[in-house]
Amino acid sequence: MISTSRRKLRTIQLKTETDRDCTRGRVSGPCRRYFGGTDRCGCLPVQSSCIMDMKKKKGKGTGLLKGMAIICVVLAFILAVLLIVGRSGRTGRKAASASTSSASVSSAAAMTSAGREAAASNNQESGQIEGEDDAAPADSAALRLTDADIHKGDLILVNPWNAYDFDANADSVDLVNILDNQSVTYPCDKSDFEIARHVLPHLDEMIAACNAAVGTNETSISSAYRSMDYQQNVWNETVANYGEAYARNYVAVPGYSEHHTGLAVDLGRTASDGTAESFTGSANADWINTNSWRYGFIRRYAEDKASITGCSNESWHYRYVGVPHAYFMYANNLCLEEYIEWLRENTSESAPYTITCDLGTWEVYFTQSRNPACPDEEYNVSGNNVDGYVITVKKN
Ligand SMILES: [Zn+2]
């Protein structure tokens, strides 16, 4: 909205400048003969010879009194100009001072860690303008989060009750083709499968480790990112083939699919001759179910959580959330809905929860503040797609 308003304002300003140019260029009467050439708005500029000619036509002023009067007018004019310039100079210095102050706040907030740069980037993406936020803190070491940020990040909850916000993520989700960018070779059912760029290395690692552990190269991808149109087609086909009751158990209503996020994949097994094998009950499924947290993935739809997730058991659907969160959910048998609720009820900026596993230590807390303190260490901010933000700080 802010960007749109700015564009409109700029359009109005340009129009005004053009109008002013036109007014300046259009002189009626005898001066028309002195015009030459055209300016950028298509009007004709006044030449200096034209102005001189107009003075000659007014005749000569010769009296001493008249001369003094002219000098007084000129001196008064110069005095007025000096006063105006002096005042605008002071205003300019004030503006420059305010600008410097704002820049120092920005640079302090942007500072050292990748997380801080990401937060600054998020603010730019969401169109937030420095100084526009009434709640902006005087403290330079505070994050500046927006309403749109609630709907972005690795922990956004997308389920039958929480739609994916396409508008909030329009400029921030970076999708890459899996087959073109994978660092290890594994098959995809379709050549155009995409996933969020930052998730692909973790998927590569997980599949490579699974194949090494199981002793085959059969782990494959049977679905990845889905656009709204793609999900609509999946929904329509499932309803047509199996009926709406079945579709509601196994296919998300368009707009409510985790596959919209670019953070989810469906895993499968593909034999060396290209034959699709069952993933459910396979050694691959078992290994990934136990070890996916090490790569930041959770099995999203377990049988005993169906009443909470709104989806039936799916052994193949995995969702990236990041290592500490995946570990905590796995270790405590929580689905994402339960974890989001647990964070809301049990953590705060003043009382973060420490998650420790053999891969590291993190502090995690939920907040609804748009300006929580900026951590001194590497951190990540994710909205929960409901009512706030989850801050994750990597502890050294
Ligand atoms: Zn899926």
| DSSP result, 143-211 | ----TGGGG-STT---BTTB---HHHHTTT--EEEHHHH-SS---BSSTT-EEETTTHHHHHHHHHHHH
CA 132 to centroid of ligand 1, rounded, Å: 40
CA-nearest of 374, 350, 352 to 363 is 352
pLDDT at 248: 86
Ligand 1 mean position to 384 CA, how many Å?
Answer: 20
- In three state form, how does the secondary structure of 212-244 look? HHHCCCCEEEEECCCCHHHHHHHHHHHHHHHCH
Write down all domains in the chain, each with its CATH number in brackets. 2-98 (no CATH), 158-332 (3.30.1380.10)
| Pairing assessment for the beta strands 314-320 and 360-367 based on DSSP bridges | unpaired
- Residue pLDDT, tens place only, 227-280: 999 999 999 999 999 999 999 888 899 999 999 999 999 999 999 999 999 999
Three-state SS at 346:
helix
Provide the residues around ligand 1 (an ion) whose CB is within 5 A.
Answer: 266, 317
Question: How many A from CA of 247 to the centre of ligand 1?
Answer: 13
Distance 71 CA to ligand 1 centre (A): 85
Give pLDDT, residue 371: 97
Task: Please report the pLDDT score of residue 106 as a whole number.
Answer: 29
Triad 181, 186, 192: Cα angle to 5°: 55
How remote is the CA of residue 212 from the centroid of ligand 1, in Å?
Answer: 24
pLDDT at 123: 38
Distance 286 CA to ligand 1 centre (A): 17
Say how far apart CA 188 and CA 268 lie, in whole Å: 9
- How far away, in angstroms, is 88 Cα from ligand 1 center? 62
- Give per-residue pLDDT as tens, 330-376: 999 999 999 999 999 999 999 999 999 999 999 999 999 999 999 99
Average pLDDT, the chain: 75
In this prediction, residue 300 carries a pLDDT of 98
Highest mean pLDDT among 32-41, 63-72, 379-388: 379-388
Q: In this structure, what is the dihedral angle of CA atoms 184, 185, 190, 191, given to the nearest 10 degrees?
A: 80
Distance 319 CA to ligand 1 centre (A): 9
pLDDT, residue 217, reads 95
Does residue 388 register a pLDDT over 60?
A: yes
Name the 3-class secondary structure at 119: helix
| Distance from C-alpha of 356 to C-alpha of 339, rounded to nearest angstrom | 16
CA 285 to ligand 1 centroid distance, Å: 14
The pLDDT tens digits for 34-43 are 222 222 222 2
What distance in angstroms lies between residue 224's CA and the mean position of ligand 1's atoms?
7
**pLDDT confidence tier of residue 82, bands split at 50, 70 and 90:** low
What per-residue confidence (pLDDT) applies to 44? 27
- Residue pLDDT, tens place only, 92-122: 333 333 332 332 222 223 323 333 344 434 4
What are the catalytic residues? 314
> Secondary structure of the chain: what % helix, strand, coil (to 5)?
50, 15, 35
Measure CA 307 to chain center: 32
Looking at residue 332, its pLDDT comes to: 98
Q: Are 163 and 258 in contact (CB under 8 A)?
A: no
Q: Where are the beta strands (DSSP E) in the chain?
A: 175-177, 194-196, 219-223, 264-270, 276-277, 297-301, 314-320, 353-357, 360-367, 379-383, 389-395
pLDDT tens digits along 176-233: 999 999 999 999 999 999 999 999 999 999 999 999 999 999 999 999 999 999 999 9
Comparing C-alpha atoms, which of 326, 322, 320, 300 is closest to residue 312?
300
Contacts of residue 369, Cβ cutoff 8 Å, sequence gap at least 6: 145, 349, 389
In this predicted structure, the answer to whether residue 51 has a pLDDT above a threshold of 60 is: no
d(CA 317, CA 224): 10
Q: Do 313 and 301 form a contact (C-beta atoms < 8 A)?
A: yes
Q: Can you give the pLDDT at residue 343?
A: 98
